Amino acid sequence: MPATLAHSSYLYKSTAPPSLLRKRAAEPKANQNSDQPKFPKGVCSIRKQSKNSNTCEVQNYALKQALREHVESGCMEDALWVFEKMNHLDTYYWNVMIRGLTDNGLFREAIDFYHRMQSEAVRADNFTYPFVIKACGGLSSLAEGQKVHGKLFKVGLDSDVYVGNALCAVYAKLGCIEYAERVFEEMPVKDMVSWNSMIGGYVSVGDGWSSLVCLKEMQVLGMKPDRFSTIGALNACAIECFLQTGKEIHCQVLKCMLELDIMVQTSLIDMYHKCGRVDYSERLFHEISTRNVVVWNAMIHGYTLNARPFESLSCLQKMQHADKLNPDAITMINLLPSCTQVGALLEGKSVHGYAVRRGFLPHIILETALIDLYGACGRMKSAERIFGQLAEKNLISWNSMISAYVQSGQNKDALELFWDLLSKHLEPDAITISSIIPAYSEVASLGERKQMHGYISKLEHNSNTFISNATAYMYAKCGNLETAQEIFDRMISRDVSSWNTIIMAYAIHGFGTKSIDLFSKMRDEGIQPNESTFVSLLTACSVSGMVNEGWKYFNSMKLDSGIDPGIEHYGCMIDLLGRKGNLDQAKIFIEEMPLVPTARIWGSLLTASRNNRNIELAELAAERILALEHDNTGCYVLLSNMYAEAGRWEDVERIKSLMRQRGLEKTVGCSFVETNCRLYRFINQDRSHVETNTIYSVLDLILRKIGEDKYVHSITKFRPLDLKRKRASSAASHSVRLAICFGLISTKLRSPVVVRKNTRICDDCHIAAKKISEMTKREIVVGDSKVFHHFIDGSCSCGDYW
């Protein structure tokens, strides 16, 4: 089933008559398993009265007719009413009722009906069981399903093909593919539906490979795939990204003349999208004469998947205007990630408004996509409001809220929410753990991190590659490369992300050659690099200033691996150009790149301008950034610092007042240092620490020794007033220095001092840290908002560019 359709069962469920659902909800829990039917008392009494009355056959015939009609039109409440008025009903009418209840999503009621049927000694047959089994699937109740399965052996229906098919489908739906396989293997006769159940079943558990093997086996036996096998097989190709097999199935579609079947067409479009062939999808899409919402949804989803958010957004207008179709909830769900990708808050908000007007809410999947959008756009209040108002919170919605906090840097809130989740009945999954781990690497102490590591091991997530990758990165981000490497070495299976993680870990620490070594090792092990691999690799080249290697890998991306460079890759190249001082080249590079420059790109140019003290270019870059992100505080601060350095105090004031007007506040710079498993936080001019006096006397001593008290700023064009201002903003007691000093006096001799900082380390502190490392003969590691600086013997791993 294509992902675009995956949510349909959710929608379907809610179509049950509301009055019935209410009745079910009002029933006391203890009654759930009793054989007594759960109908209004009045209905039962009518049944009793009519039992002894002499109903004529004609009347009974009319009632039977009415019962069938009610069931067919989905009026289950009326059908129930009629059912209760009839007596001595045979299996057929019980089956009609059970089928009706199941088809209308009243699964619990369907199962209760089956139990009641047994207690009234009505024989269930091979038409009863498939719907009872389907109801078990609808309730996601494996226990009920297995109970029914057990019963089948007793009544000798275990080898019935119709019943077997239903069992296969339900076990697959519940993710128990082994059970489905066993039922399938033991079926003496298999029909088309049996094969299709397995082909679709493997797809539903994400095993495209087995699904295709199943298709082959079926063909070997001389059976021709029908539309359902074809759709299943196409979805299997989409899962495995088997473009070639997908194309072969496309040929079969043409041979079997299934090409006009809209469901098959939709699956083909979905398959080509997932294999990255948007062009094929587009061609097929344009050939369809009458398009429905589902095929539009597949198109929107495909563009989103292929990081073409603008096309995805423009589909919405086209479907409304050209095809006169109304978007449904799935359209909104498929569209929102596109808004999230480009930070299109306005479009996202209008999707939100539309969903409210059309009454799509509450809808947990849609609301979760909205949380993702608001989180990515930094609108935490809106995200929190939606999360708070969710009628039922599932793990996915918790995960979205946690990662929204992490993305917006509200790590403390993320941790609190995570601890809140742990106190609930929900068990965190791999996504929860990998979303929360970055928060741990930012604000948690080593003790808390170890606790987390232990917790992960207990949850048996240890063998999960996804989690191990995140844990390795957590340690690398905390400046602990050694543990990161250990986790990587101990991984049972390493996927491409594991390699990307470890390459990135060395990259941000400035060990570029090590990253490149790891990359060639990865190739030797036969692992194909993906887009993220090149982000890690190009980051390594840019942080370590390896220009030639950088260009080599950038050019080889397309040639050797068939990957088109994305925004991140271009960003790394601009960093590399900026590092070498090639600002003009960087500017031309941006103008000539085939992608629309984002704030990330202009941010690189801004960094380059700052490092090369080019105010004009910095102003240009800042202007572009602020046009895209009005509230980019970092951009204002950086520009203001550049003006201050150049003594342009009027401009500093101008920026400050601009920030005030927009209600923006400078992030409070703070530094963390960890000793004895405790995390100590320092802000600039901090005097709150118990050992403040010692820290300041050590700092004084060190500054005198490294001669910074005599240090005169190289720019001498300050007027006396400016000099006063300069002194006021002196770096002498910046948080990072206080943290370094505390680290020096409270950690073991010769061990490196590891400090983390939430903002960029300033130039003065960078110079000071180099000198301190030389004077004290200690390695000082400072992880700032960009990279890790390893200060050893008076020089820094970043090569003075960050």
Least separation in angstroms between CB 791 and Zn ion: 7
Least separation in angstroms between CB 736 and Zn ion: 6
At which residue do the structure tokens 């015939």 appear? 61
Side by side, the strands of the sheet bearing 753-757 are: 678-683, 670-675, 753-757, 780-783, 788-792, 795-796
Segment interacting with Zn ion, rule: CB under 5 A, options 169-177, 202-210, 330-338, 724-732:
724-732
- Report the residue from 734, 756, 760, 778 that binds Zn ion according to the rule CB under 5 A: 734
Distance CA(454)–CA(387), nearest Å, equals 29
Structure tokens, 721: 């007033």
Least separation in angstroms between CB 802 and Zn ion: 5
Q: Pick the closer one to Zn ion by CB: 170 or 798.
A: 798
Q: Pick the closer one to Zn ion by CB: 465 or 641.
A: 641
At which residue do the structure tokens 């000198």 appear? 771
Query: Would strands 780-783 and 753-757 be described as parallel, antiparallel, or unpaired?
Result: parallel
At which residue do the structure tokens 């981000």 appear? 477
Assess 798 for contact with Zn ion (CB under 5 A): yes
Per the document, the length of the chain is 802
Least separation in angstroms between CB 360 and Zn ion: 50
Q: Pick the closer one to Zn ion by CB: 124 or 731.
A: 731
Q: Pick the closer one to Zn ion by CB: 622 or 731.
A: 731
DSSP 429: -
Q: Pick the closer one to Zn ion by CB: 329 or 765.
A: 765
Segment interacting with Zn ion, rule: CB under 5 A, options 41-49, 583-591, 752-760, 788-796:
788-796
Least separation in angstroms between CB 737 and Zn ion: 7
Distance CA(736)–CA(628), nearest Å, equals 31
Q: Pick the closer one to Zn ion by CB: 610 or 789.
A: 789
Site for Zn ion in 308-347 (CB under 5 A): none
Q: What are phi and psi of 116, to 5 degrees?
A: -65, -40
Per DSSP (E only), the strands in 258-396 are: none
Assess 762 for contact with Zn ion (CB under 5 A): yes
CA dist list (Å): 695 to 280, 670, 731, 744: 66, 16, 16, 10
- Would you list the DSSP string of 701-742? HHHHHTTGGG---S-----HHHHHHHHHT-STT-HHHHHHHH
Least separation in angstroms between CB 567 and Zn ion: 25
Segment interacting with Zn ion, rule: CB under 5 A, options 90-98, 386-394, 481-489, 734-742:
734-742
Rounded (10°) CA dihedral 502, 508, 512, 518: 0
Least separation in angstroms between CB 579 and Zn ion: 12
Segment interacting with Zn ion, rule: CB under 5 A, options 86-94, 239-247, 572-580, 760-768:
760-768
- Other beta carbons less than 10 A from residue 483's beta carbon: 18
Query: Would strands 753-757 and 795-796 be described as parallel, antiparallel, or unpaired?
Result: unpaired
Assess 796 for contact with Zn ion (CB under 5 A): yes
Segment interacting with Zn ion, rule: CB under 5 A, options 84-92, 129-137, 383-391, 759-767:
759-767
Q: Pick the closer one to Zn ion by CB: 509 or 624.
A: 509
Least separation in angstroms between CB 757 and Zn ion: 9
Give Cβ neighbours of residue 353 (< 8 Å, ≥ 6 apart).
none
Least separation in angstroms between CB 665 and Zn ion: 19
Q: Pick the closer one to Zn ion by CB: 82 or 638.
A: 638
Assess 249 for contact with Zn ion (CB under 5 A): no
Assess 638 for contact with Zn ion (CB under 5 A): no
Assess 731 for contact with Zn ion (CB under 5 A): yes
Which residue in 475, 497, 494, 493 sits closest to 484, CA to CA?
Answer: 475
User: What's the chain's Rg over C-alpha atoms?
Assistant: 33
- Report the residue from 108, 274, 453, 789 that binds Zn ion according to the rule CB under 5 A: 789
Cβ-contact 199, 233 below 8 angstroms: yes
Q: Pick the closer one to Zn ion by CB: 295 or 731.
A: 731
Q: Pick the closer one to Zn ion by CB: 312 or 684.
A: 684
The residue type found at 465 is T
Site for Zn ion in 502-541 (CB under 5 A): none
CA dist list (Å): 116 to 33, 129, 142: 10, 14, 20
Least separation in angstroms between CB 786 and Zn ion: 9
Give Cβ neighbours of residue 714 (< 8 Å, ≥ 6 apart).
none
Assess 765 for contact with Zn ion (CB under 5 A): yes
Q: Pick the closer one to Zn ion by CB: 614 or 671.
A: 671
Query: Would strands 670-675 and 753-757 be described as parallel, antiparallel, or unpaired?
Result: antiparallel
Q: Pick the closer one to Zn ion by CB: 107 or 791.
A: 791
HEC string of 335-350 equals HHHHHHHHCCHHHHHH
Signed CA dihedral, 279, 281, 282, 288: sign only: positive
Least separation in angstroms between CB 685 and Zn ion: 11
Q: Pick the closer one to Zn ion by CB: 291 or 789.
A: 789
Cβ-contact 670, 681 below 8 angstroms: yes
Segment interacting with Zn ion, rule: CB under 5 A, options 92-100, 603-611, 719-727, 762-770:
762-770
Assess 780 for contact with Zn ion (CB under 5 A): no
At which residue do the structure tokens 């993680």 appear? 501
Q: Pick the closer one to Zn ion by CB: 593 or 762.
A: 762
Instruction: Tell me the number of residues near Zn ion by CB under 5 A.
Output: 7
Q: Is 494 helix (H, G, I), strand (E, B) or coil?
A: coil
Q: Pick the closer one to Zn ion by CB: 149 or 734.
A: 734
Cβ-contact 794, 770 below 8 angstroms: yes
Segment interacting with Zn ion, rule: CB under 5 A, options 71-79, 492-500, 677-685, 786-794:
786-794
Segment interacting with Zn ion, rule: CB under 5 A, options 93-101, 513-521, 755-763, 772-780:
755-763
Assess 142 for contact with Zn ion (CB under 5 A): no
Least separation in angstroms between CB 731 and Zn ion: 4
Q: Pick the closer one to Zn ion by CB: 453 or 579.
A: 579
**Could you check whether the bond before residue 362 is cis, i.e. omega within 30 degrees of 0?**
yes
Instruction: Describe the crossing of helices 547-561 and 567-579 by its angle, rounded to 10 degrees.
Output: 160
Least separation in angstroms between CB 797 and Zn ion: 6
Least separation in angstroms between CB 551 and Zn ion: 23
CA dist list (Å): 520 to 487, 499, 510: 20, 11, 18
Q: Pick the closer one to Zn ion by CB: 192 or 762.
A: 762
Distance CA(131)–CA(136), nearest Å, equals 9
- x/- mask, Zn ion, residues 7-46, rule CB under 5 A, reads ----------------------------------------
Give Cβ neighbours of residue 29 (< 8 Å, ≥ 6 apart).
none
Segment interacting with Zn ion, rule: CB under 5 A, options 40-48, 245-253, 424-432, 785-793:
785-793
Segment interacting with Zn ion, rule: CB under 5 A, options 38-46, 620-628, 682-690, 793-801:
793-801
Segment interacting with Zn ion, rule: CB under 5 A, options 161-169, 678-686, 703-711, 723-731:
723-731
Q: Give the footprint of Zn ion on this chain (CB under 5 A).
A: 731, 734, 762, 765, 789, 796, 798
